[in-house]
Amino acid sequence: MTKLLSFSKISFKEALSYKFEVFLWMVAVPVGLAVYYFLWKSIYSYTGQEVIRGFTLSELLSYFVLIEIVAYIVWSNADQRLARKVYTGDLVVPLVRPVKIYFNYLFHRFGRLLFFIPINTTIFAFIGIYFFDMKAASLAHIGLFVLSIFLSIMLVYSFVFLLGISAFWLKDFTGLHLIKQGIIWLVGGGLAPLVFFPKLAQQILALLPFQYMLYAPAQIFLGNFTMTEIYQVLAIQVIWTVLLCVFIHFAWKKAMLKFSGVGA
């Protein structure tokens, strides 16, 4: 454990040098939220309904704030890091360490989160509470939301890591990395709550892991799931993560047979 925590410590120290980047991010994201505000305000007032598909305007805007918070926390670039190491041949260095590379990058991410979570959550919580009257359904929902975010970190990380392994076979990984980002955003609930999608699309998406990455934690916070549904979501998050870890195990074995350590 001490070995793993040392990755987190280094990562936290690295993050401290990105203060200005963080500030710039904090300028960019509220612009996107402001666009959502004007767009949906106009739609609600033109439609003349207070509630659309179970969301009041204030709840919908809170949803978008929560999506930003969750996306920021669960985001991972482990795939890019892994791909870079494969292309340069530098992967041999983490391979000789007494820690599995999966945990190496995971704990590196935890270190970053120690830096980003307090800043990110404070700013977005302020925007959500002050401008959009954002509130959790109950204290228990906040606890379950936190648990769900943790499971979502594991789920997204495992998914991203598995994709990163494809770098052993691909000449350039950037295309797949971009596809991953687009898909998670589009069908993970970043575009709009999934209950806004047609029924058939919702049924198909329920079979995939993406809605458990962003959408589900946000819905838990807002109290739009019953307790039974929440426990189901948490169980599905665990199942998907375990399943992805099994895939990672086999894919990694294949990848190691392919890896030569030669790079540019």
Interface residues toward another protein, by CB under 8 A: 20-21, 24-25, 27-29, 31-32, 35, 38-39, 41-44, 46-49, 52-53, 170-176, 178-179, 181-183, 185-186, 191-192, 196-198
From CA 10, how far away is CA 169, in angstroms rounded?
A: 30
Structure tokens given for 105: 């990058």
In the complex with another protein, the residue whose CB is nearer, 41 or 100, is 41
Pair 116, 19: CB distance under 8 Å? no
Q: How far is the CB of 34 from another protein (least distance, A)?
A: 8
Residues sharing a CB contact under 8 Å with residue 105, sequence separation 6 or more, in sequence order? 7, 78, 81, 82, 157, 161
In the complex with another protein, the residue whose CB is nearer, 1 or 264, is 264
In the complex with another protein, the residue whose CB is nearer, 178 or 206, is 178
In the complex with another protein, the residue whose CB is nearer, 140 or 183, is 183
Q: For the beta carbon of residue 10, count every other beta carbon within 10 angstroms.
A: 13
Q: How far is the CB of 241 from another protein (least distance, A)?
A: 24
Phi, psi of 208, rounded to the nearest 5 degrees: -105, 165
Q: How far is the CB of 6 from another protein (least distance, A)?
A: 26
Q: How far is the CB of 196 from another protein (least distance, A)?
A: 5
Task: Tell me the residue type at 218.
Answer: A
